[in-house]
Structure 1
Amino acid sequence: MDSNLEAIIKKENKNRITWGFIIAFLCSVLWGIAYVAFTMQWIVPPFGDMSAFPEGAMGMLVATATILTFQIALTVIILSIFYLGGTGKFADFPRTASAFKISKWYAFAAVLGGPIAIYGTTLAIGYIGAAFAASAALLSSVIGAFAAKFWYGENITKRAWTGIAIMVVGGVFILNPPQTIAEITNPAAPDGLWLGYLGAIASFIGWGIEGAIAGRVIDLTDSDTGLQTRFLAELGIWLVIIWPVYILLIGPGAVYTALSAALASPSFLIWTSLAVLSGNFSYVFMWKSYPLIGVGRGMSVSTLYVLFAIIALYVFMGIPTAWWVILGAVIAVAGIFVMYWDSGDSLLESTRSD
């Protein structure tokens, strides 16, 4: 009887791991394709000519905030009505959001994943390009694995540590310090170009720590209602904190001009909706993978998105990618596969050490 029970448990664990990797892979496909929509947001009116925004670096900051405010607002609306409504979980959403001991952690995740990570990567897309932004964010899995390890003892095998080290090497190629310094110090560089590189760094730090938080708090709630709580908290941060700050800095007239110009652009609203259905919906799969295979593995497999991003940007938009970015991405992905090909026994270990 005990041997039969042990066999059933072992089979269940194998199924859990298999589905964890499948779900994380689906996340990578959606997130990679989303970079086409993320890029188009910067091309269509009013962002193509930036005439509706202040000049210089402040204009880029305000434009980025405008894009992301509309994006998260549509995310809350679309996922609430169609996803939570379609899965019969909408009634659980208010209960999760009103449980402060739990929702405060989702709010913390929203700060890291929204105004820090997504703000950073969107600035990087606007200043430098989508392929660079996508590749730089690969390092989020390294940050997530370290945070989960030292915060709540998520196991990281020797092979996984090797994979992380390889990914760090890839990250050095992607960021390419000499090229970065040369571009920032170039007198002909766009005003505030350094914000794009700073945004790239903020993106992988923010998403990495957010992943560790998600891996912990999802133990207490359903991942779908928890994720929507995180999205709602992010929308609140934009509306209650960030935009009042911009009103103080540039005045209510400039803020109204920026927001109304975006609202009046059908092409922007269409591409933002596509960004929500691909990029933001990929979060659903990523968060579902965390309880199944752990934050380190979940984020690592999900970051295969960079391959789909580079391919999609070239196929659909004809955008080439610098060789050092491609090389760094290939090295980082090799590190991901090192983490993936753990032995069967190590994969069947609990993702927690306690």
Structure 2
Amino acid sequence: MEALTAKQKLSANFLKKGISIALFSGLMYGFYSAFLTLGMTKGVWGDWLGPNTAGLSALVITYLLGALGSAVNDTCSAIWAILFAGYKGKLGDFFRCLKTKPGAVMVLAALIGGPIAGTAYVVALQKAGSIVIPITALCPAIGAILGKVLFKQKLDKRMMSGIGICVISSFLIGSTSIGGDAPEGLVLGLAIALIAAIGWGFEGCVAGYGTSMIDSEIGITIRQAVSGLSNLLILVPIFGVIFGGSINFSTDLVVKAFTSGPAMIWFAISGLCAFVSYMCWYNGNSMCGAALGMACNGTFSFWGPFCCWIIMGVICGIDGWSLPPIAWIAAVLMMFGILTIAMNPMDLLKKKTTVENEAA
């Protein structure tokens, strides 16, 4: 009986630790968003995105610089991931996994979540600010729908209710774009944020297969390395040709971005936060289950705007980062919707009661 009680207590502590780690991933995602945005106001980025725009066209500023910002962040994040894998003695596993089918699946997930969703996220942040973050938090709802369509996964009434809550929340956030006080570019930013949500939802479906068969730390390293390199070597040059007229144009911007010390300090921090966020998300999922882990990570719909407001608005004193009350309410409501998709919220109370009874 004492052994059984000890085992039950250990299981309960393991679950609580997993929930704490998954919740921490949402917080770190908020800081990643804030420091990334801050980095894109410093050094050469201040010239490119400032009032004079350094002679760059609107298309270059919106799309090429958005892709470049995502590329710099993901490259920094990949470096942190590779350093961590080397510290853990897993670099050999990293290269071996690249040759396997699960590794190829992770590469596909990285291509979807990096160049497509990641760039859309950065562009949306630049166009509309932190109000787009709760929109991108629709990815669990979109992932649930795609899982039903692509993999015939379960989609019951409770999950449909959670999706409905998320959709209503997104409409509440979108309502802030109605009226004369809405900032320029808000509608476009919200639309681009939806692209990011779709991309991340699809990535979650694809990556779920890959991470079920390889070490989560190796999966993170593959994801971040492929995302950074594909952004830097594929998407940015393509945008350079389309919007700048030549690859040399984008190459010049890349060199200036990576040699801008005042900005790279913050990109290094945002890359670290992104790496820690993904690592905690995967670890949390393995400890408390993918459904509950996904719900806990989805709290970035609140932490994202909050961290941007603290870092950009309160600490740095940059205007435009405060959110209307309806956006805060919608962000919290979306967190509840995400939790409903992942699990029955009443189960948390049941588990707590069960643990207390077992302990007694």
TM-score (norm 2): 0.81
SS in 1 for 2:98: helix
Does the 8 Å contact 2:281/2:297 carry over to 1?
yes
Distance 1:305 1:41, change over 3 A: same
Distance 2:96 2:215 in 1: 11
SS in 2 for 1:39: helix
Counterpart for residue 41 of structure 2: 43
Distance 1:21 1:164 in 2: 22
Counterpart for residue 66 of structure 2: 64
Counterpart for residue 99 of structure 2: 98
1:327 aligns to 2:325 (yes or no): no
Distance 1:207 1:297 in 2: 17
Counterpart for residue 316 of structure 2: none
The equivalences for 1:168-207 within 5 A come to: 168-176=167-175, 179-180=176-177, 189=184, 195-207=188-200
Distance 2:303 2:72 in 1: 25
Counterpart for residue 84 of structure 1: 85
Does the 8 Å contact 2:63/2:239 carry over to 1?
no
Counterpart for residue 351 of structure 1: none
SS in 1 for 2:254: helix
Counterpart for residue 350 of structure 1: none
Which residue of 255, 259, 272 corresponds with 1:260? 255
TM-score (norm 1): 0.82
Note the alpha carbon deviations across 1:192-223, whole angstroms, 9 max, x for none: x6652332011111111211222221111011
How many pairs does the alignment contain? 334
Does the 8 Å contact 1:137/1:203 carry over to 2?
yes
Which residue of 235, 244, 250 corresponds with 1:242? 235
**Regions of 4+ moved over 6 Å:** 7-13, 344-347
Which residue of 47, 56, 81 corresponds with 1:54? 56
Distance 1:53 1:157 in 2: 53
Distance 1:295 1:116, change over 3 A: farther
Cα offset, 1:72, TM superposition: 1.8
Distance 1:158 1:15, change over 3 A: farther
Structure 1: runs of 5+ lacking an equivalent: 348-354
Distance 2:35 2:123 in 1: 15
Amino acid across the alignment from 1:75 = S
Distance 1:284 1:327 in 2: 29
Distance 1:247 1:126 in 2: 19
Distance 1:68 1:135 in 2: 19
Distance 2:128 2:158 in 1: 34
Cα offset, 1:122, TM superposition: 0.5
Counterpart for residue 316 of structure 1: 311
Counterpart for residue 273 of structure 2: 278
Note the alpha carbon deviations across 1:285-306, whole angstroms, 9 max, x for none: 1122334445443222112123
Amino acid across the alignment from 1:144 = G
Cα offset, 1:230, TM superposition: 1.6
Distance 1:293 1:117, change over 3 A: farther
1:115 aligns to 2:120 (yes or no): no
SS in 2 for 1:321: coil
Counterpart for residue 26 of structure 2: 28
Distance 1:280 1:195 in 2: 28
Does the 8 Å contact 1:53/1:62 carry over to 2?
no
Q: How high is the sequence identity, in percent, across the aligned residues?
A: 24
Does the 8 Å contact 2:68/2:232 carry over to 1?
no
Distance 1:316 1:236, change over 3 A: closer
Counterpart for residue 298 of structure 2: 303
Does the 8 Å contact 2:78/2:221 carry over to 1?
yes
Distance 1:148 1:296 in 2: 13
Counterpart for residue 352 of structure 1: none
Amino acid across the alignment from 1:91 = G
Amino acid across the alignment from 1:141 = P
Note the alpha carbon deviations across 1:318-346, whole angstroms, 9 max, x for none: 23112332221121123245446242699
Amino acid across the alignment from 2:215 = D
Distance 1:346 1:139, change over 3 A: farther
Cα offset, 1:40, TM superposition: 0.5
Which residue of 62, 73, 81 corresponds with 2:75? 73
Does the 8 Å contact 2:73/2:267 carry over to 1?
yes
Distance 1:49 1:19, change over 3 A: same
Amino acid across the alignment from 2:249 = A
RMSD: 3.1
Distance 1:143 1:241, change over 3 A: same
Distance 1:233 1:247, change over 3 A: same
Cα offset, 1:154, TM superposition: 5.1
